[in-house]
């Protein structure tokens, strides 16, 4: 058993002063006691660690490389061509080095568990590695070394467009049929066996990368684990789905797949009002990635209507162009404000908007990753983010005022310490292995972009 002491903590019972969190050897919280002990030192403001429900770790290596306008209008689709060119050079060693850097940055930014939407499976040209899950093993190794909690989501990707179009040359590294995908899952499970508290799910990439028949084949392979899928990120995707099926992507999924608890629809940006309400009622989580969605020009999720209908949401860093948990939540709210020309759009009367955003993302992210996280209470994993009460953005503030200031006036620089499973991985804002991880990452990038 270990004891962590905080001057203030956001627990399941709300804000509590002078809190002792006792952690069990398995990394869970054994008890949460308020009131303080004589002679004990209490400092900092403790928050539950935020789940990052959607990431493509390797894309951290291409951050900033697509910010050059082409002769035609730039869009998600032109960005994708830059991504394809970048990944064509990546080796397993490269992927591991980039993932380690991304995970260190995530932990320093307040993300303590990750849903890795992992689709870079094979060698350039599409030939499988001797170990079919070689790349998944590298993601698991990066999580093990850095301490990141991992829900691995191997991606099923079989087609290059709606209706079963063949994969393009740049997509060969992603491709599997259902039989090989089942083998990939088994091999991935072996890599996760030694990783504490790891989870395995599946991720049919999108309706444009599968067919109804293959979706039906792979869904049972989840075996009770989470199911994630990209849906309605782009207007072109919606138009193509309508041309293929006569239905919009979210509409089609709700009518033809068992979407509900355990599912996460990533982005869900372009939904009709009926789709928005139906998805909220389904119990599935909307996986929002506001910084990436802004960077790609995707559009704005209708958070106001979705939350009003009782929908669950979480946040992800997706392309990892910027890694900052507070910035993701701030960008989500600011997008709603710009669209509606109001303030505190996702808040409630006389309530902290930051509290609603933070607790909502914790709950939705925990559900999407199938992890006992997101709350400081007995039985939950001891994933805790500690804010620096002396930071200028937080000075003199406590409770909801401090949380609002962290999200809207501060950011990752307000984070002092981070614990995962009760183990301190970040101290004074720096991950314990930052120096060696960054050195390897820098050497990798110098070779890749030279």
40: domain range? 2-47+377-436
Q: Are residues 31 and 174 in the same domain?
A: no
Asked if residue 448 is part of any domain, the answer here is no
431 is catalytic: no
Question: What is the number of domains present in the chain?
Answer: 2
- What percent of the chain has a predicted confidence (pLDDT) above 90? 95
For 13-59, the pLDDT digits (tens) are: 999 999 999 999 999 999 999 988 877 888 899 999 999 999 999 99
Catalytic pick from 318, 324, 388, 404? 318
SS3 315: strand
Asked if residue 446 is part of any domain, the answer here is no
Q: Which residue is it, tokens 């002063």? A: 17
Q: Are residues 85 and 185 in the same domain?
A: yes
Q: Are residues 43 and 57 in the same domain?
A: no
Per-residue pLDDT, 39:
76
- What percent of the chain has a predicted confidence (pLDDT) above 70? 100
Q: Are residues 197 and 238 in the same domain?
A: yes
Catalytic pick from 267, 270, 391, 431? 267
Per-residue pLDDT, 34:
94
Q: Are residues 15 and 61 in the same domain?
A: no
Q: Are residues 305 and 249 in the same domain?
A: yes
Q: Are residues 41 and 170 in the same domain?
A: no
For 209-264, the pLDDT digits (tens) are: 999 999 999 999 999 999 999 999 999 999 999 999 999 999 999 999 999 999 99
SS3 324: coil
Length of the chain: 450
Q: Are residues 269 and 410 in the same domain?
A: no
pLDDT (mean) for 293-321: 97
The per-residue DSSP string of 209-275 comes to SS-HHHHHHHGGGGTTS-EEEEES-SHHHHHHHHHHHSS-HHHHHHHHS--STTEEEEE--S--HHH
For 236-245, the pLDDT digits (tens) are: 999 999 999 9
Asked if residue 176 is part of any domain, the answer here is yes
Q: Which of 369, 401, 416 is the last residue of a domain?
A: 369
Asked if residue 77 is part of any domain, the answer here is yes
**In this structure, what CATH number is given to the domain that contains residue 8?**
2.30.40.10
pLDDT (mean) for 439-444: 98
- For the whole model, what pTM was predicted? 0.97
Q: Which residues, 6 or more positions from 201, have their beta carbon under 8 angstroms from its beta carbon?
A: 115, 151, 152, 153, 222, 225, 226, 227, 228, 370
267 is catalytic: yes
Asked if residue 445 is part of any domain, the answer here is no
Q: Which of 326, 351, 369 is the last residue of a domain?
A: 369
Asked if residue 441 is part of any domain, the answer here is no
**In this structure, what CATH number is given to the domain that contains residue 296?**
3.20.20.140
Q: Are residues 310 and 346 in the same domain?
A: yes
Q: Are residues 38 and 55 in the same domain?
A: no
Asked if residue 449 is part of any domain, the answer here is no
Q: Are residues 8 and 82 in the same domain?
A: no
Q: Are residues 308 and 415 in the same domain?
A: no
For 119-160, the pLDDT digits (tens) are: 999 999 999 999 999 999 999 999 999 999 999 999 999 999
């Amino acid at each position: 058993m270990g004891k962590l002491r905080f001057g203030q903590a956001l627990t399941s019972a709300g804000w509590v002063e002078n809190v002792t969190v006792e952690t069990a050897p398995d990394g869970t919280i054994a008890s949460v006691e308020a009131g303080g002990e004589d002679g004990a030192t209490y400092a900092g403001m403790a928050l539950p660690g935020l789940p990052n429900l959607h990431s493509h770790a390797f894309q951290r290596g291409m951050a900033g490389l697509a910010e050059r306008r082409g002769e035609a209008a730039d869009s998600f689709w032109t960005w994708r061509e830059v991504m394809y060119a970048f990944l064509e050079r990546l080796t397993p060693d490269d992927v591991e080095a980039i993932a380690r850097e991304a995970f260190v940055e995530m932990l320093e930014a307040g993300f303590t568990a990750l849903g890795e939407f992992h689709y870079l499976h094979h060698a350039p040209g599409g030939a499988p590695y001797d170990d079919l899950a070689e790349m998944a093993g590298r993601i698991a190794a990066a999580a093990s070394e850095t301490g990141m909690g991992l829900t691995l989501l191997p991606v099923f990707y079989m087609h290059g467009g709606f209706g079963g179009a063949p994969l393009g040359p740049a997509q060969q590294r992603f491709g599997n049929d259902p039989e090989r995908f089942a083998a990939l899952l088994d091999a991935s499970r072996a890599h996760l066996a030694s990783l504490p508290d790891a989870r395995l799910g599946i991720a049919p990439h999108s309706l444009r990368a599968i067919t109804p028949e293959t979706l039906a084949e792979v869904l049972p392979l989840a075996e009770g684990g989470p199911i994630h899928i990209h849906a309605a990120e782009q207007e072109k995707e919606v138009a193509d789905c309508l041309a293929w099926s006569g239905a919009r992507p979210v509409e089609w999924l709700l009518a033809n797949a068992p979407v509900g608890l355990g599912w996460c629809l990533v982005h869900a940006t372009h939904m009709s009002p009926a789709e928005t309400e139906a998805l909220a009622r389904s119990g599935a989580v909307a996986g929002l990635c506001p910084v990436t969605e802004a960077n790609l020009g995707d559009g704005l999720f209708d958070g106001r209507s979705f939350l009003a209908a009782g929908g669950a949401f979480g946040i992800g860093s997706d392309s990892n162009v910027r890694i900052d948990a507070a910035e993701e939540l701030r960008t989500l709210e600011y997008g709603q404000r710009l669209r509606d020309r109001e303030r505190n759009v996702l808040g409630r009367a006389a309530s902290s908007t930051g509290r609603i955003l933070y607790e909502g993302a914790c709950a939705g992210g925990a559900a999407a990753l199938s992890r006992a996280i997101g709350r400081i209470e007995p039985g939950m994993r001891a994933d805790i983010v500690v804010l620096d009460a002396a930071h200028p953005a937080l000075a003199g503030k406590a409770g909801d005022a401090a949380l609002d200031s962290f999200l809207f006036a501060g950011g990752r620089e307000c984070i002092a310490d981070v614990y995962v499973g009760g183990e301190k991985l970040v101290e004074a804002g720096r991950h314990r292995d930052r120096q060696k991880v960054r050195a390897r990452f820098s050497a990798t990038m110098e070779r890749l972009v030279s």
